[in-house]
Amino acid sequence: MAKTLNIGMIGYGFMGRAHSNAYRKVGNFFNLKYQPVLKAVCARNADKAKAFASQWGYESIETDWKQLLKREDIDAIDICTPNNVHAEIAIAAAKAGKMILCEKPLAMNAAEGEKMVKAVETAKVPNIVWYNYRRIPAVTFAKQLIDEGKLGRIFHYRAKFLQDWTISPELPQGGQGLWRLDSKAAGSGVTGDLLAHCIDTAIWLNGKIDCVSAMTETFIKERKHSLSGKVEKVGIDDACAFLARFSNGSLATFESTRYARGHKALYTFEVNGEKASLAWDLHDLHRLQYFEHADEGSLRGWRSIHVTDSDHPYMSKWWVPGLAIGYEHSFVHQVADFLEGVAKNKPVGPTFRDALETQYICDAVLKSGKSGKWVNI
């Protein structure tokens, strides 16, 4: 019989729902030595915390995360808060001996991230950051193909993540639901929110990035703040594009914006190698596009691999071949891998240290965007 692992969730927004769903579903599909238990959810608003607990099956609530950390019946803390409190909560949780699952990005900046890494490594507590796109089966399969040498030497990596939800100048910044537009809560805009995902995937697939050259833009310079009611300067980047060099000699382009009218969440990447190329699109997330140069000339072309067979990553745990799974399953996979790591006493990536590398790159991108110069990582 599986051992229980009691979860204390801090936050109840979009990611709180995604993570809660994963905890509830993982035991139905994965045979694990640990079963997560939704022990407590924490939020400042008691009524909303109670409603969330009732909907998702949490046994109790707290309104102060410090009280949550004092509870002996909590094994793991899941941080689903705005970025500006990740560090304080994570460092305190590590000192309390709690396992930690933290939303991305790791921190407001690398300086904070370094303190978080030191805390979890000193305490020797299991830790992971929710860069969930690694665990979409088609993306995991791309990693497998690259690691097997199917692409040969890598020449190019290109990624973009496009949205359009902040175009209106009437949209305020700050407060619940809009904290990502407030630099004091988010740290940065698309760089820390969207490009962080692109960067994590890229360095997982293709290795270390050595240097970057970026440009950023804030299209709407002032917005009313939801909390103060005053018109205040916007401190985040609305759009960012940057060039990068990987340690393996390959070149990269990255682009992200919240001003691409018509795109709600277009995350794509393509990798070009000596022998083959591959490409992936979040809008068609169960498919991997693949081009093999060794194919017979008259048959050579891009193929679409439907990543649903039982020999594809994670898919043997779900339905019969041919039936697709979705975005929410990537979180289930992350919980499954984390719990397996806990059982084997082995770290599972992306750990805090792994996510710190992404933080260094984000910091370098923002620095380059301000200076107009190449920045080494």
Q: By C-alpha distance, which of 183, 10, 188, 193 is closest to 89? A: 10
Q: How many CA atoms lie within 13 A of 355 on its CB side?
A: 34
Same domain as 274, residue 141:
yes
Whether 177 shows a pLDDT value over 90: the answer reads no
Structural domain including 15 reads 3-132
The residue-averaged pLDDT of 43-67 equals: 97
Helix (H) or strand (E) holding 100: strand 99-102
Contacts of 72 (CB under 8 A, 6+ apart): none
pLDDT of 330 strictly over 90: yes
> Looking at the DSSP assignment, which residues form a beta bridge with residue 127?
100
Question: Does residue 176 surpass a pLDDT of 90?
Answer: no
**175 and 110 within one domain:** no
**Domain final residue pick, 92, 110, 132:** 132
Within this chain, do residues 83 and 182 fall inside the same structural domain, yes or no? no
Average pLDDT over residues 325-331: 98
Q: Are residues 8 and 111 in the same domain?
A: yes
Provide the strand spans (E) within 146-281: 154-162, 209-217, 222-224, 231-233, 239-246, 251-257, 266-273, 276-281
Q: What is the mean pLDDT of residues 77-106?
A: 98
Q: Provide φ and ψ at 60, rounded to 5°.
A: -155, 170
Do 159 and 123 fall within a single domain?
no
Task: Give one DSSP letter per residue of 261-290, joined into a string.
Answer: TT-SSEEEEEEEESSEEEEEEGGGTTEEEE
Q: Is the peptide bond before 350 cis (omega within 30 degrees of 0)?
A: yes
